[in-house]
Structure 1
Amino acid sequence: MTDPNLLYTDVEDELRASVRDLLADRADAAAVLARCEQDEPYDLDLWRTLAVDLGATSLHVPEEFGGQGAGFRETAVVAEELGYRVAPVPFLGSAVLATTALLSVVDDQHARKALARLTSGSATGALAVPLSALPGSPLPAIRVEGDTLVGTIRSVADAAVADFLVVPADGALYLVEASAARIEPVVSLDLTRPVADVTFDHAAAVRPAGSTESAVDSALLAGAGILAAEQVGVAQWCLTTTIDYLKQRYQFGRQVGSFQSLKHRLADLWQELVSARAAARYAADTLTTGSDDVRVAVAVAQSLCASVAVHAAEECVQMHGGIGMTWEHPAHLYLKRAKADEIAMGSPARHRAALAALVDLQA
């Protein structure tokens, strides 16, 4: 096994710059806040630009299947930048979860056609599992009756804008057009990543040949690893924005950022962020290389990065004082994303429990 490289490559830096410039122009704080007040929280124009113009939604898909032929390291870079802006696009549900599940069964023609729709940007998909699903954990039971599916899955990320659904049922994967299911948006803490309940009432479904439960597990494992990179982006924005604010804010004739107690809190947060970034980078690297250490790496990254993102968001709100509690300031969006991400793909406690078993650590 080769030693992991946690540094960003020149190609990754160039990718980051392209995505960052696009988001700075199209998903600044004012734009995201304004969209949260609209009936359509998703920015589908931005999503199409990411998918079609930048090809940022198919980075880990091999070129032979219409992707960019890169890896999860590059996908993680995009997720980090999207987290930095809490961009309201269905990246996790479509580009990570649904796409990775389909890659596991890509030998089937139905799966290849569905994957081609995602990689070309002509369609958006969603993996029909609860947002809180942990890799390897049991999923809600969906009945298979002939060529149809029956049952309900709650709190599915990005289902509201999906053109089709990848549905785990009876130990296999099924493809269902979104129009054949009943998708009901529910109140979500995170205004920038809505969830929905999905109900199948004898919905017509196609089963790709050779599809197994391992496809879902692979998708959830990748989702948890990439989510860690997103959480690093959330934490980075909170730290950067807080430092900038404390440099401008004066109290008792002094720059607030000069107070020793605040310096210590910021230093502690910076140290946490450095550790979280290293863990997230290692998880992305193991996903790319297929390392035997991938499950340990993802569990470590998720248990750490989720907590760091929440801490960073809480400190951001507190250190902004009164303005941090207002709707007009975007700090609340980051706190909500951090808290929602904390239970997404498994809570830190569940990942630590899984990690203990992986490294044979007795309770």
Structure 2
Amino acid sequence: MEFAFTEEQQMIRDTAESFLTDVSASEAIRAAMATEQGYDSELWSRICTELYFQAVTIPEDFGGMGLGYVELVAVMEQMGRFLLCAPYFSTVCMASTALLVAANEEQQAEYFGKILEGETATLAFTANGKWDASGVEATFKKDGDSIVLNGSYRYVIDGHTAQNLVLAAREEGTSGDDGIALFVLPADTAGVTRTWLPTMDQTRKQAQIELVNVALTSANLMAENAADDLAKILDLATICLAAEQVGGAAQILDMTVAYTKERVQFNRPVASFQSVKHKAADMMTKAEAARSGVYYAACIAQDALVNGPLAGELREAASIIKSDVSDAYFQNAGDAIQLHGGVGFTWEYDVHMYFKRAKATEHFLGNASYHRERLAELLLD
């Protein structure tokens, strides 16, 4: 498959790179890390008003840009490269994707409208660290015209600050893929409690959400028997996350090469040593191979979103690229620590931030072992 950016796609990528170079430097990242919110509200407003990037995949009928997953992946790669602290992944790659896949026209009009106005959103589904329908433990019960939700979620990206929530829950008494439903609601709905959970990766905040007798109506119900919809949403989000990882893997290589050119040992730059050159070449190979895979997966994602019946191919692409990129990013981050020497993991250098993001994204939505096992199951089917 021969892939190349169109002029429009290249312009989107270059715009993201130029903007993030200015607004997501080390000082801005560290300032956002130190807050419970985890991002600068003014910066998020600029992303929404100046770039309109929250609208990338929202259809034009609802006021969005109506673009595809190649464009979204190009944006996510740059955000990963500059370690952007913003609720973009949670709002666009998770919640907006869920609305695209499972919401009806009225729900899309309402919640896409909110996202286009700059409101944030996220997806909550797992309580036990399982990254499929088996992770859904929150339950719902229909009571006449109302629906009552109870349960909890963990590992919810930006869950404590998101203004809107997409929730996966299962009908009481069901298990596995049975009884899964998707709901959308404002985060301030009565009975919803959200708690920030500090994690190793300070550049991306997570939360726990508790539901106690949350009363909803059919207007909040996006889809019933939604295990397939949830799987599709998670596969699409996984590809976006892999794109972010590719950006980080490439950036940490650039940072390391720049440092080894400055660091002098035995009266010569460390970068001139053959062993350092070999290590840098290995890092570049991992990053470039991962980038090719991500853009192939983005093409599969767009086909699956438009044409629908490509669940097996989408799942395969998501698992292949997530397993490959997770290994590549963390390996590059580890090698960067080594090539920086003793200062590599000190607070003064930015390498440690990428190292932590690499480890956090490796596990979120399934690590390499999880996805390779899933691939094996697909081959046996």
Which TM-score band (shorter chain)? Answer: over 0.9
Equivalent AA in structure 2 for residue 165 of structure 1: L
Residue among 300, 318, 322 paired with 2:342: 322
Aligned to 1:195: 206
Q: Secondary structure at the match of 2:344?
A: helix
* 1:21 aligned onto 2:18: yes
Aligned to 1:97: 94
Q: Over residues 225-247 of structure 1, what are the superposed CA-to-partner deviations in whole Å (9 max), with x where a residue is unaligned?
A: 11111000010110011011111
In structure 2, C-alpha distance between the alignment counterparts of 1:344 and 1:131, rounded to whole Å = 13
Residue among 287, 291, 298 paired with 1:284: 298
Higher alpha-carbon deviation: 173-182 or 208-217: 208-217
Higher alpha-carbon deviation: 126-135 or 307-316: 126-135
Structure of greater relative contact order (alpha carbons < 8 Å, 6+ residues apart):
1
Equivalent AA in structure 1 for residue 11 of structure 2: E
In structure 1, C-alpha distance between the alignment counterparts of 2:125 and 2:109, rounded to whole Å = 21
Kindly state the Cα deviation for residue 149 of structure 1 after the two structures are TM-superposed: 1.2
Ranges in structure 2 where 5+ consecutive residues have no aligned partner: 171-179, 305-309
Given that 2:256 and 2:336 are in contact with CA atoms closer than 8 Å, whether structure 1 keeps it comes out as yes
Aligned to 1:174: 183
For these two proteins, the number of residue pairs brought into alignment is 357
Q: Over residues 92-126 of structure 1, what are the superposed CA-to-partner deviations in whole Å (9 max), with x where a residue is unaligned?
A: 211011111111234341343112211x1331111
- When normalised by structure 1's length, the TM-score is 0.93
Given that 1:135 and 1:217 are in contact with CA atoms closer than 8 Å, whether structure 2 keeps it comes out as no
Given that 1:5 and 1:285 are in contact with CA atoms closer than 8 Å, whether structure 2 keeps it comes out as no
Residue among 264, 283, 288 paired with 1:269: 283
* 1:258 aligned onto 2:272: yes
In structure 1, C-alpha distance between the alignment counterparts of 2:49 and 2:233, rounded to whole Å = 22
Residue among 340, 351, 355 paired with 1:335: 355
Counting only pairs closer than 5 Å after superposition, residues 37-52 of structure 1 correspond to structure 2 as: 37-52=34-49
Q: Secondary structure at the match of 1:6?
A: coil
Given that 1:155 and 1:197 are in contact with CA atoms closer than 8 Å, whether structure 2 keeps it comes out as yes
Given that 1:131 and 1:156 are in contact with CA atoms closer than 8 Å, whether structure 2 keeps it comes out as no
Higher alpha-carbon deviation: 168-177 or 183-192: 168-177
Higher alpha-carbon deviation: 291-300 or 339-348: 291-300
Higher alpha-carbon deviation: 210-219 or 76-85: 210-219
Counting only pairs closer than 5 Å after superposition, residues 208-287 of structure 1 correspond to structure 2 as: 208=221, 210-211=223-224, 212-287=226-301
Residue among 211, 215, 218 paired with 1:204: 215
Q: Over residues 265-320 of structure 1, what are the superposed CA-to-partner deviations in whole Å (9 max), with x where a residue is unaligned?
A: 11111111111111111111110122562221111100000110001111112211
Counting only pairs closer than 5 Å after superposition, residues 41-190 of structure 1 correspond to structure 2 as: 41-118=38-115, 120-130=116-126, 136-145=132-141, 146=143, 147-170=147-170, 171-180=180-189, 181-190=192-201
Given that 2:181 and 2:222 are in contact with CA atoms closer than 8 Å, whether structure 1 keeps it comes out as no
Ranges in structure 1 where 5+ consecutive residues have no aligned partner: none
Say if 1:134 and 1:55 are closer, same or farther in 2 by CA, change over 3 A: farther
Q: Over residues 248-267 of structure 1, what are the superposed CA-to-partner deviations in whole Å (9 max), with x where a residue is unaligned?
A: 11111011001111111111
Equivalent AA in structure 2 for residue 348 of structure 1: A
Q: Secondary structure at the match of 1:298?
A: helix
Given that 2:133 and 2:230 are in contact with CA atoms closer than 8 Å, whether structure 1 keeps it comes out as no
Given that 2:103 and 2:222 are in contact with CA atoms closer than 8 Å, whether structure 1 keeps it comes out as no
Say if 1:131 and 1:249 are closer, same or farther in 2 by CA, change over 3 A: farther
Say if 1:209 and 1:321 are closer, same or farther in 2 by CA, change over 3 A: closer
In structure 1, C-alpha distance between the alignment counterparts of 2:89 and 2:229, rounded to whole Å = 16
Q: Root-mean-square deviation (CA), in Å?
A: 1.9
Say if 1:149 and 1:137 are closer, same or farther in 2 by CA, change over 3 A: closer
Aligned to 2:323: 303
% identical equivalent positions: 29
Kindly state the Cα deviation for residue 64 of structure 1 after the two structures are TM-superposed: 1.1
- When normalised by structure 2's length, the TM-score is 0.89
Q: Over residues 47-89 of structure 1, what are the superposed CA-to-partner deviations in whole Å (9 max), with x where a residue is unaligned?
A: 2222232121221222112221110111001110110111111
Q: Secondary structure at the match of 2:185?
A: strand
In structure 2, C-alpha distance between the alignment counterparts of 1:143 and 1:136, rounded to whole Å = 15
Given that 2:37 and 2:205 are in contact with CA atoms closer than 8 Å, whether structure 1 keeps it comes out as no
